[in-house]
Amino acid sequence: MIDIPPVRTEITVYEGAYFYKEFTIVDSAGTAVDVTGWTGTGTAVPYVGGTSMGTFTVAIVTGTSGIISVELQEADTEDMSVGAYEILLTTDEATPRTYGVRYGPLDFIVSAN
Protein backbone atom coordinates (compact mmCIF):
# COMPACT_ATOMS: atom_id res chain seq x y z
CA MET A 1 0.00 0.00 0.00
CA ILE A 2 1.31 3.42 -0.96
CA ASP A 3 1.35 6.15 1.69
CA ILE A 4 0.04 9.25 -0.09
CA PRO A 5 -0.61 12.05 2.36
CA PRO A 6 -3.23 14.62 1.33
CA VAL A 7 -1.71 18.01 0.57
CA ARG A 8 -3.49 21.24 1.48
CA THR A 9 -3.26 23.71 -1.41
CA GLU A 10 -5.18 26.96 -1.76
CA ILE A 11 -6.54 27.65 -5.25
CA THR A 12 -8.13 30.73 -6.79
CA VAL A 13 -10.93 30.56 -9.34
CA TYR A 14 -12.16 33.57 -11.30
CA GLU A 15 -15.84 33.97 -12.15
CA GLY A 16 -16.57 32.92 -15.73
CA ALA A 17 -12.92 32.02 -16.42
CA TYR A 18 -11.28 28.76 -17.45
CA PHE A 19 -9.27 27.18 -14.60
CA TYR A 20 -6.37 24.74 -15.07
CA LYS A 21 -3.72 23.56 -12.63
CA GLU A 22 -1.27 20.69 -12.51
CA PHE A 23 -0.19 18.86 -9.36
CA THR A 24 2.51 16.24 -8.78
CA ILE A 25 1.37 13.41 -6.54
CA VAL A 26 4.07 12.28 -4.12
CA ASP A 27 4.29 9.68 -1.39
CA SER A 28 5.26 10.38 2.23
CA ALA A 29 8.96 10.25 1.25
CA GLY A 30 8.44 12.94 -1.41
CA THR A 31 8.84 10.55 -4.35
CA ALA A 32 6.50 10.94 -7.32
CA VAL A 33 3.86 8.20 -7.41
CA ASP A 34 3.16 6.40 -10.70
CA VAL A 35 -0.54 7.15 -11.26
CA THR A 36 -0.76 5.56 -14.71
CA GLY A 37 -4.22 4.09 -15.21
CA TRP A 38 -5.70 5.79 -12.15
CA THR A 39 -8.87 7.87 -12.34
CA GLY A 40 -9.68 11.11 -10.60
CA THR A 41 -12.58 13.19 -9.39
CA GLY A 42 -12.77 16.63 -7.89
CA THR A 43 -15.50 18.56 -6.16
CA ALA A 44 -15.91 22.18 -5.03
CA VAL A 45 -18.25 22.86 -2.10
CA PRO A 46 -19.29 26.08 -0.32
CA TYR A 47 -18.16 24.53 2.99
CA VAL A 48 -16.85 21.14 4.14
CA GLY A 49 -19.74 18.70 3.93
CA GLY A 50 -21.79 21.05 1.72
CA THR A 51 -23.59 20.32 -1.53
CA SER A 52 -21.38 20.36 -4.63
CA MET A 53 -21.20 23.67 -6.48
CA GLY A 54 -18.87 22.35 -9.19
CA THR A 55 -17.00 19.33 -10.45
CA PHE A 56 -13.41 19.41 -11.62
CA THR A 57 -12.25 17.39 -14.60
CA VAL A 58 -9.23 15.42 -13.35
CA ALA A 59 -6.80 13.92 -15.87
CA ILE A 60 -3.52 12.04 -15.75
CA VAL A 61 -0.94 14.20 -17.57
CA THR A 62 2.25 12.16 -17.08
CA GLY A 63 1.35 9.07 -15.08
CA THR A 64 4.89 7.79 -14.45
CA SER A 65 5.85 11.17 -12.97
CA GLY A 66 2.69 11.50 -10.88
CA ILE A 67 1.45 14.59 -12.72
CA ILE A 68 -2.29 15.21 -12.84
CA SER A 69 -4.36 18.17 -14.02
CA VAL A 70 -7.57 19.65 -12.68
CA GLU A 71 -9.74 21.98 -14.71
CA LEU A 72 -13.02 23.84 -14.78
CA GLN A 73 -14.62 25.22 -17.92
CA GLU A 74 -15.82 28.83 -18.03
CA ALA A 75 -19.47 27.81 -17.56
CA ASP A 76 -18.50 25.79 -14.47
CA THR A 77 -17.15 28.89 -12.71
CA GLU A 78 -20.19 31.13 -13.32
CA ASP A 79 -22.09 30.20 -10.16
CA MET A 80 -19.31 29.32 -7.75
CA SER A 81 -18.48 31.05 -4.51
CA VAL A 82 -15.76 30.96 -1.89
CA GLY A 83 -15.51 27.47 -0.44
CA ALA A 84 -13.37 24.37 -0.37
CA TYR A 85 -12.37 21.59 -2.76
CA GLU A 86 -11.11 18.03 -2.72
CA ILE A 87 -9.34 15.97 -5.39
CA LEU A 88 -9.52 12.15 -5.17
CA LEU A 89 -7.54 9.57 -7.14
CA THR A 90 -8.57 5.92 -7.42
CA THR A 91 -6.06 3.19 -8.28
CA ASP A 92 -6.55 0.66 -11.06
CA GLU A 93 -5.82 -2.31 -8.80
CA ALA A 94 -8.10 -5.38 -8.56
CA THR A 95 -9.31 -3.91 -5.27
CA PRO A 96 -9.16 -0.17 -5.96
CA ARG A 97 -8.04 2.29 -3.31
CA THR A 98 -9.07 5.93 -3.26
CA TYR A 99 -6.73 8.61 -2.01
CA GLY A 100 -7.59 12.19 -1.12
CA VAL A 101 -4.56 13.82 -2.74
CA ARG A 102 -5.37 17.56 -2.68
CA TYR A 103 -7.76 19.68 -0.67
CA GLY A 104 -8.06 23.18 0.65
CA PRO A 105 -9.69 26.55 0.44
CA LEU A 106 -11.15 27.72 -2.85
CA ASP A 107 -10.94 31.48 -3.26
CA PHE A 108 -13.44 32.91 -5.72
CA ILE A 109 -12.89 36.24 -7.47
CA VAL A 110 -16.01 37.90 -8.86
CA SER A 111 -15.66 39.55 -12.28
CA ALA A 112 -15.69 43.35 -12.28
CA ASN A 113 -18.05 43.34 -15.29
Segments making up each domain of the chain, as ranges: 7-109
- The CA-based angle 106-107-112, given to 5 degrees, is 145
- Tell me the average pLDDT across 29-44: 97
Q: How far apart, in Å, are the Cα atoms of 83 and each of 11, 12, 99?
A: 10, 10, 21
> Does residue 80 have a pLDDT over 60?
yes
Rounded to 5°, angle at Cα 5 from 94 and 45: 90
pLDDT at 71: 97
Spatial distance between the Cα atoms of 33 and 47, rounded to a whole number of angstroms? 29
Query: Confidence band (pLDDT; 50, 70, 90) for 6?
Result: very high
- Does residue 99 contact residue 4 with C-beta atoms inside 8 Å? yes
CATH entry, 7-109, from 3.40.50.11260, 3.90.1150.10, 2.60.40.3350, 2.40.37.10 = 2.60.40.3350
Rounded to an integer, the average pLDDT of 41-49 is 92
Q: Per-residue pLDDT averaged across 18-29, rounded?
A: 97
